[in-house]
A and B are shown apart, each in its own frame.
Chain A
Amino acid sequence: METHESVLAALPLFKGLKPEQIQQIASCAETATYEAGQFLGREGEPAEWFWVVRQGRIALETHAPGRAPLTLQTVSTDDVIGWSWLIPPHVLRFDIHALTASRAVRIDGKRLRELCGRDHELGHALIERVAQVLVRRMEAMSLQLMDLYGVHDGEHE
């Protein structure tokens, strides 16, 4: 049977964590479901959670007044979304929007921060892993910015 602990332990992101550290994270977890179109959180709101997607497709979006929202990235099964819970000032930097009906394990970031404050080894392990998520997202966004598949000056046939 799938438990929060087994879901977390199987994630590549949490590879190398000790079983007791997985247990600590799982103690802050609950299952949540979202309808298509529902926002898991909006830019500027307190970052209280992060999510491990189990089913569905969820978008990270940003927006400017008067313009259609821009999807930066979508995530799906086994992806982790949300890092602002760990980094001050603990507010969401993007909208998190369920594109389809979705199910996720959501983890109480505030509670986990308290655990990290008491257990610095856990805190360090999580910061290392969240940094990996950030680096990969930054790499992906830099590739998006390059507009890889557009036609550029000097391009030959």
Chain B
Amino acid sequence: MSEPVTAPARAGAGSDPMRPERYRVVRTWPETHDTFTMVLAPVEAGARYRFEPGQFNMLYLPGVGEAAISMSGDPAETRQVTHTVRAVGRVTKLLQGLKRGDEVGLRGPFGVPWPVGLAKGRDVLLVAGGIGLAPLRPVVHHLLAHREQFGHVCLLFGARTPADVLFQKDIETWRGRFDASVEVSVDRAGPGWYGRVGVVTTLIPHARFDPANTIAFICGPEIMMHFTMRELERRELAREQAWVSMERNMKCGVGFCGHCQFGPLFVCKDGPVFRYDRVAPLLPVREV
């Protein structure tokens, strides 16, 4: 199964990948206690932004710094761009406080996207953990917008608690379409939760897909992706049929600085999406 190994041409910004473009906050809303979604539009009148599912932008706050954030919106929408951000550091916590009309700098899109084209004619299995659902949300948008091109579509999502389930309205909508299966499990729950409890890997034995004709996209913490693949192999899905999105501390976004080096790979340029067999030897290693 062939694999795209280079990033597509950058479509959103100007010719200098290191120069941020000006964007303005259109809307922002909380998803959970520490995660929010922010919609940005170019300040330049009539400018369009295009990306492919799985790519990321560098969002810049002057005088503070940059953070690499995957796009979480519909790739067919070109007038604005959506990011879902977990506020864990200085930049992301300040991004969380931005209001409508505030400006940010944006460089991107960067990185190798999910190979959605390879999934045509096949079952598609998406496995997401925590904030890992955000980079897969554009894939869901694409799959559902072109539903006739794919076999069975199945999304398995694991969250920490019921209060940490992202995109709850979307999940209800996706479930309500009846042409995709969406299962959610939480790691811990108290009384009053009648959904599933258990790590996301426990959903795999029940997931509906034909292992011989399935493409899997997996996104979440590395150890979760490692155990997800182990469970998929029990279902006889080969490593060559699975892609994962890696997260590293990305700075330049174009493979110059080396901050995101992962063994022999630069996550920003060679990834963040990799075919599983390419990164499998590195995943269980304590420090890479």
Contact = CB atoms under 8 A, between A and B. Distances in A.
Interface of A: 12, 57, 59, 68-74, 76-79, 99-100, 139-140, 143-144, 146-151, 155-157
Nearest to A72: B197
Q: Is the interface of A mostly helix, strand, loop or mixed?
A: loop
B261 interface: no
B92 A71 contact: no
A99 B192 CA distance: 10
A157 B89 contact: yes
B154 interface: no
B221 A156 contact: no
Contacts of B227: 139, 143
A59 B193 CA distance: 11
Interface in B194-250: 194-199, 201-202, 205-206, 220-221, 223-224, 227, 249
B160 A150 contact: yes
Contacts of B119: none
A96 to B, nearest CB: 13
For the complex, would chain B's binding face be called helix, strand, loop or mixed by DSSP majority? mixed
A148 B221 contact: yes
Interface stretch (B16-24, B43-51, B171-179, B182-190): B182-190
A71 B197 contact: yes
Residue picked from B130, B131, B189, B202, most chain A C-beta under 10 Å: B202
Interface residues of B, number: 38
The 8 lowest CB-CB distance pairs between A and B, nearest first, are A157-B89, A149-B130, A149-B160, A73-B198, A143-B199, A156-B249, A71-B197, A157-B92
Given A78-B206, A148-B187, A149-B159, A143 B223 contact: yes
A151 B92 CA distance: 13
29 contacts: A68-B190, A71-B189, A73-B197, A76-B196, A76-B206, A79-B205, A139-B201, A143-B187, A143-B199, A143-B201, A143-B223, A143-B224, A143-B227, A144-B198, A147-B160, A148-B158, A148-B187, A148-B199, A148-B224, A149-B158, A151-B86, A155-B88, A155-B89, A156-B89, A157-B86, A157-B88, A157-B89, A157-B90, A157-B91
Given A148-B130, A157-B89, A77 B206 contact: yes
Nearest to B220: A148
A98 B86 CA distance: 35
Contacts of A148: 129-130, 158, 160, 187, 199, 220-221, 223-224
B189 to A, nearest CB: 6
Nearest to B131: A149
B234 to A, nearest CB: 9
B136 to A, nearest CB: 15
B164 interface: yes
B129 A149 contact: yes
B3 interface: no
A100 B188 CA distance: 18
Contact of A140 (B159, B198, B249): B198
